[in-house]
Amino acid sequence: MTTFVESANSGDGRRVILEAVIGALPMPVIMLASDNRILFANSAAEGFFQAGASLLCKGTLEQFVPFASPLLSLVETVRSHGASVNEYSIDIGTPRSGGPQQVDVHVAALSEREGCVLVTVQPRAMAQKIDRQLTHRGAARSVSGMAAMLAHEIKNPLSGIRGAAQLLETGASEDDRQLTQLICDESDRICGLVDQMEVFSDDRPIAPEPVNIHAVLDRVKNIAANGFASNTRIAVEYDPSLPDVPGNRDLLIQVFLNLIKNAAEAVADLGAAGEILLTTAFRPGIKLTVPGVDERVALPLECCIHDNGSGIPEDMRQHLFDPFVSTKATGKGLGLALVAKVVRDHGGIIECDSDDHRTTFRLLLPMYQAKPMSAGAQAAE
């Protein structure tokens, strides 16, 4: 019997292996003859063009990409110059493939066969997703580094400045006292901002306690109704069967405060027509892939904050949870960045859905499960 390695060295064996390798590639690959007939398509290409290899190989490239597609001129350029070309972010979608599809393509001339070219397609959504994850990670790192730096380098001298201003205040005239007061107030404000930033550099895992989300929401609703949202109607629709979540109560209060504050600011212009709705639901079937965990985890607790404000501008949605992103004149753009961090630390997920007359922030969280008691602890009872 010939071994795998021996058969790989025979002509036919190599062919079988090459076909298997190209067939298994995750990105669509097609080979074109000099008249653009499709000679070969791998299985990713079948999925991408929504057609079987046998159908693809009966047609030409023109039948599977839009009329005047930049891919056609790209293939021609490669044929005439004999060199490979990369083109980024072009649209090669067709009605058959479900409308526009942004892709990066690589077109290479096959030197062994006159006029033949190989087209490799990298779907844009995949590239952008990877991009986005990397940027997020970078942003999170730079914010936590900066927060740690701010805490050390600013807070100490600041308390010195404040102390000095207080000393001056004792012998100062009435006019000068206003200035020393200003120094103290502004120092306090900077200190508050640094404290807010410091939360980002705190990488300690939370010590999860069972937290009743309804108690958290009621607390936040109370703070809102007596403060920043005193003129806004806040309705609730709770699912009474909701179990506890494993978490830190104070941090979860902070999360909902930030979300409800944003909602209140979004409906502020609507006056009496503005409304915020808090809903909860228990959805035991929901299992998701979350970063850092291999298995799909159950996140059955759903809490939503709905508002009927004018929504989040389309171009903002992608960067919503990044720090320093704000459309408000005095906004710091740290609210949602903090929400994202705390939700992630709780093993949950947050997503946003918005159009021009409503916005929903949806939080999915795990359920608290009491640790089974050890045999020793049971015996001691």
Question: Under the rule (CB under 6 A), what is the footprint of ligand ADP?
Answer: 258, 262-263, 266, 307, 309, 311-312, 316, 320, 325-328, 331-337, 359
In the complex with ligand ADP, which residue's Cβ is closer, 111 or 230?
Answer: 230
Beta-strand relationship, 38-41 and 29-32: antiparallel
Residues in CB range of 343: below 8 A, 6 or more apart: 255, 349, 350, 363, 365
> Taking CB within 5 to 8 Å according to partner kind, which of ligand ADP, Mg ion, none is near residue 374?
none
Longest dimension (CA), the chain: 103
> Taking CB within 5 to 8 Å according to partner kind, which of ligand ADP, Mg ion, none is near residue 348?
none
In the complex with ligand ADP, which residue's Cβ is closer, 156 or 330?
Answer: 330
CA dist 251 and 255 (Å) reads 6
In the complex with ligand ADP, which residue's Cβ is closer, 88 or 324?
Answer: 324
Cβ atoms of residues 74 and 87 within 8 Å: yes
354 belongs to the binding site for Mg ion (CB under 5 A): no
In the complex with ligand ADP, which residue's Cβ is closer, 102 or 360?
Answer: 360
309 belongs to the binding site for Mg ion (CB under 5 A): no
Helix (H, G, I), strand (E, B) or coil at 307: strand
In the complex with ligand ADP, which residue's Cβ is closer, 244 or 307?
Answer: 307
The DSSP string of 224-262 is HHTTTTTTSEEEEE--TT---EEE-HHHHHHHHHHHHHH
Residues in CB range of 241: below 8 A, 6 or more apart: 282
**Contacting range for Mg ion; rule: CB under 5 A; set: 159-167, 200-208, 254-262, 269-277:** 254-262
Q: Kindly state the number of chain residues that form the binding site for Mg ion, as judged by CB under 5 A.
A: 2
In the complex with ligand ADP, which residue's Cβ is closer, 217 or 337?
Answer: 337
C-beta nearest to ligand ADP: residue: 335
- Residue 337 Cβ vs ligand ADP, minimum distance, rounded to whole Å: 6
359 belongs to the binding site for Mg ion (CB under 5 A): no
- Residue 346 Cβ vs ligand ADP, minimum distance, rounded to whole Å: 18
In the complex with ligand ADP, which residue's Cβ is closer, 92 or 339?
Answer: 339
Residue from 335, 347, 348, 366 touching Mg ion (CB under 5 A): that is: 335
262 belongs to the binding site for Mg ion (CB under 5 A): yes
CA of residue 244 relative to chain centroid, distance: 26
- Helices 249-267, 335-345: axis angle to 10 degrees equals 150
Determine the length of the chain. Answer: 381
323 belongs to the binding site for Mg ion (CB under 5 A): no
The DSSP string of 142-172 is HHHHHHHHHHHHHHHHHHHHHHHHHHHHHH-
Q: Which residues bind Mg ion (CB under 5 A)?
A: 262, 335
